[in-house]
Chains A and B, each alone.
Chain A
Amino acid sequence: MSKLRYLPLLLLLLPPFYLDLFWLQAGLFVMAAAIGAIGLNLLTGSTGQLSMGHSFFLAVGAYGYVYFAGESDEHLVGLGLPPVVAIVCAVVLAGLAGLAFSPIAGRLSGVYLGIASLALIFIGQHVLFNVHDVTGGYNGRAVPPLEIFGFTFDNSGDVAPFGIPFGGLEKLWFVGLILLGVSALFALGVLRSRPGRAMNLIRDQQTAAGVIGIPVARTRAAVFTLSSMYAGLGGVLLALTFQRAVPDYFGMLLALDYLAMIVIGGLGSVTGAIVGATFVTLLPQLLTRYSDSLPLVSPPGTGGVSPADAARYLYGAAVVGIVLFLPAGLRGLRIPSLTPRKETTP
């Protein structure tokens, strides 16, 4: 197969040169969400393990980064590590949090894990609101900008390729692309080889998987840990884009958003996770941006249907429509003949 078909991906390098900050930020949100969604899709789409706790691990990643990279002052504590080290530590921390929950995640299957993992959200919210020193409490905490080998990702204006001054988001765009690319390739590597096949068989035929020699509980636990690391990395990029981490954001609605992403995009597929993340993340942004010119949607705070609510209605409808008419998700639109219907879900 020709490698040329990957050429259009180079277009992704262009936006920082042409688009304004709103679109750059929206694009970075998409990348962060896509990383998290790829992780959730490994767990839910490929292994059949429902998780409602994904927003908890996103929070661990985001606040992990803020804590490791942030400086201490009279109200807040932080370790002041170099940001790159802080990213690695945050992802590892999210992995450790996943590992801590994995004895449960390995033993419970499907929907039961979904219910058990709800607990993580409530515990997470409680901790985030109350550990003021780390999270800054209700109002959140500023996120220290990324810095790689003395090169700071802020608006200092020290870089201006082709005469275009690059601010923080422009520079972060490229980091986001690299992180998303590496995350996607890693997930594809996993899915197309031994662990991926084991995950699929556990989803489709749990008993047969065990008999064939696949340690079911251990594999599930490993996937759960891996998926929480993806969520951690997504959380870090989210925090870097937002430039502020607010506890309220990492609630149950966010966990539902991620489930909507993988269902809309296509369960069990890396491309599907990226497509779904784009759809679910961009929709509210677009509605907010154009709320004055759209019927039935009013600008936030003016009463009536807010763009965020309208977006939720829309993708709620999209989820229903896709489950009924497009079981392979939006990704299945492209090549319907190659994605046969799933026969049964035991």
Chain B
Amino acid sequence: MTEVPELTVENLTVRFAGIVALDAVSFAVAPGTLHAVIGPNGAGKSTCFNVLSGVYRATSGRVTFGGHELTSMAPHKVGELGIARTFQNLALSPMLTVEDNLMTGRHRLMRSGFVRSGLRWPSAVREERLHRDRAREIAEFAGIGKKLAHPVGALPYGDQKRVELARALCGEPRLLMLDEPVAGMNATERHEMAELIVTVRESLGISILLVEHDMGLVMRLADHVTVLDFGRLIASGTPAEVQNDPEVLRAYLGEEAAS
């Protein structure tokens, strides 16, 4: 595993035609930590994710990852740096098998193009085999090793979420961004997913940036929490510090609870 650099977000501002989705937000994800971004609906969490993965353009501010400035990069360039993410709503190819979906995650690590693939060039065949082996390992790790041959669209929701996480891991990322990994899951599925995230972190030593509404999960897993409300950063610290912050209570529960 290569060195994991720090992700720093400095004064990040995003405006959509008059609406300020993010207002001068700054935070840093220390190497190998699990950093959670929380906040009520519309706080700007997803916008933040989309800027970090190159999907949206920042209006101003800087995001750097190991000496690379991300805010001006196309999405696939960000992916090439070793930043992988999952999506709040599943973004898989429903008709492809689990294995082929995982293989799309390894795209950036492979080289065969149209000509070599079409002609079944020996180097392309060898590369395909090597990467399939690794994808199967990762599938085992993520608990979907028995479902490799199933079309993804036919799997239950919880498994599809796992496939997405496994696909992100297939890119051998240095920073993994999880957008609501347990949203819409039942209690058992939540518990299993939380365990998987802990395992990923402990065994791979990569940084994880997590957006999640499940407070119990965030408080249990995160090393550091950043709280957003209406696009502004209102609190930042360890889970315990953030939990008692009056600003945070106000944002979540209203004026009365905070006083």
Would you call B94 and A211 a contact (CB within 8 A)?
A: no
Q: Which of A19-27, A106-114, A195-203 contacts B (4 or more CB under 8 A)?
A: A195-203
B84 in the interface (beta carbon within 8 A): yes
**How many residues on A have C-beta within 8 angstroms of the other chain's C-beta atoms?**
34
Q: How far is the CB of B189 from chain A (nearest CB, A)?
A: 20
B6 in the interface (beta carbon within 8 A): no
- Nearest opposing residue in chain B for A193, CB measure: B117
**How many residues on B have C-beta within 8 angstroms of the other chain's C-beta atoms?**
39
A130 in the interface (beta carbon within 8 A): no
Would you call B117 and A212 a contact (CB within 8 A)?
A: no
List A contacts of B114 (CB < 8 A). Answer: 190, 195, 222, 226
List A contacts of B112 (CB < 8 A). Answer: 193-195
Q: How far is the CB of B131 from chain A (nearest CB, A)?
A: 9
List A contacts of B124 (CB < 8 A). Answer: 193-194
Pick from B55, B91, B128, B153: contact of A194, CB under 8 Å: B128
A80 in the interface (beta carbon within 8 A): no
Q: Which of A61-69, A213-221, A286-294 contacts B (4 or more CB under 8 A)?
A: A213-221
Would you call A210 and B75 a contact (CB within 8 A)?
A: yes
- Nearest opposing residue in chain A for B86, CB measure: A208
Q: How far is the CB of A328 from chain B (nearest CB, A)?
A: 9
B156 in the interface (beta carbon within 8 A): no
Q: A190-B118, A194-B112 are in contact. Are A212 and B171 (CB under 8 A)?
A: yes
A343 in the interface (beta carbon within 8 A): yes
List B contacts of A209 (CB < 8 A). Answer: 104
Q: How far is the CB of A222 from chain B (nearest CB, A)?
A: 6
Pick from B79, B100, B154: contact of A212, CB under 8 Å: B79
User: What is the CA–CA distance of A210 and B73 in the complex, to the nearest angstrom?
Assistant: 11
B103 in the interface (beta carbon within 8 A): yes
Q: A198-B107, A201-B104, A340-B154 are in contact. Are A216 and B76 (CB under 8 A)?
A: yes
Pick from B79, B94, B151: contact of A213, CB under 8 Å: B79
Task: Give the most central of A190, A200, A213, A340: most B CB within 10 Å.
Answer: A213
Would you call B74 and A212 a contact (CB within 8 A)?
A: no
Q: How far is the CB of B258 from chain A (nearest CB, A)?
A: 37
A186 in the interface (beta carbon within 8 A): yes
Task: Give the most central of B96, B118, B171: most A CB within 10 Å.
Answer: B118
B110 in the interface (beta carbon within 8 A): yes
Would you call A213 and B119 a contact (CB within 8 A)?
A: no
Pick from B107, B120, B128, B153: contact of A343, CB under 8 Å: B153
Pick from A194, A197, A210, A212: contact of B96, CB under 8 Å: A197
Q: A189-B117, A200-B93, A200-B96 are in contact. Are A211 and B54 (CB under 8 A)?
A: yes
Would you call B100 and A197 a contact (CB within 8 A)?
A: yes
A207 in the interface (beta carbon within 8 A): yes
List B contacts of A198 (CB < 8 A). Answer: 104, 107
What is the count of residue pairs linking A and B with beta-carbon distances less than 8 angstroms?
A: 114
List A contacts of B122 (CB < 8 A). Answer: none
- Nearest opposing residue in chain A for B168, CB measure: A212
Q: How far is the CB of B163 from chain A (nearest CB, A)?
A: 12
B92 in the interface (beta carbon within 8 A): yes
User: What is the CA–CA distance of A211 and B167 in the complex, to the nearest angstrom?
Assistant: 12
Task: Give the most central of A207, A208, A340: most B CB within 10 Å.
Answer: A208
- Nearest opposing residue in chain A for B127, CB measure: A194
- Nearest opposing residue in chain B for A338, CB measure: B151
A154 in the interface (beta carbon within 8 A): no
Would you call B118 and A212 a contact (CB within 8 A)?
A: no
Q: How far is the CB of B209 from chain A (nearest CB, A)?
A: 14
Q: How far is the CB of A21 from chain B (nearest CB, A)?
A: 34
- Nearest opposing residue in chain A for B128, CB measure: A193
A342 in the interface (beta carbon within 8 A): yes
Pick from A187, A212, A222, A339: contact of B104, CB under 8 Å: A212
Pick from B94, B103, B105: contact of A342, CB under 8 Å: B94
User: What is the CA–CA distance of A186 and B85 in the complex, to the nearest angstrom?
Assistant: 33
- 24 A/B residue pairs, CB under 8 Å, sorted by A: A189-B120, A192-B117, A194-B103, A195-B114, A198-B104, A200-B93, A201-B93, A201-B104, A204-B93, A204-B94, A204-B95, A205-B91, A205-B93, A207-B87, A207-B91, A209-B104, A210-B74, A210-B76, A211-B54, A211-B75, A212-B76, A212-B107, A216-B75, A340-B95
- Residues on A lying within 8 angstroms of B by beta carbon are 186-187, 189-190, 192-198, 200-201, 203-205, 207-216, 222, 226, 339-344
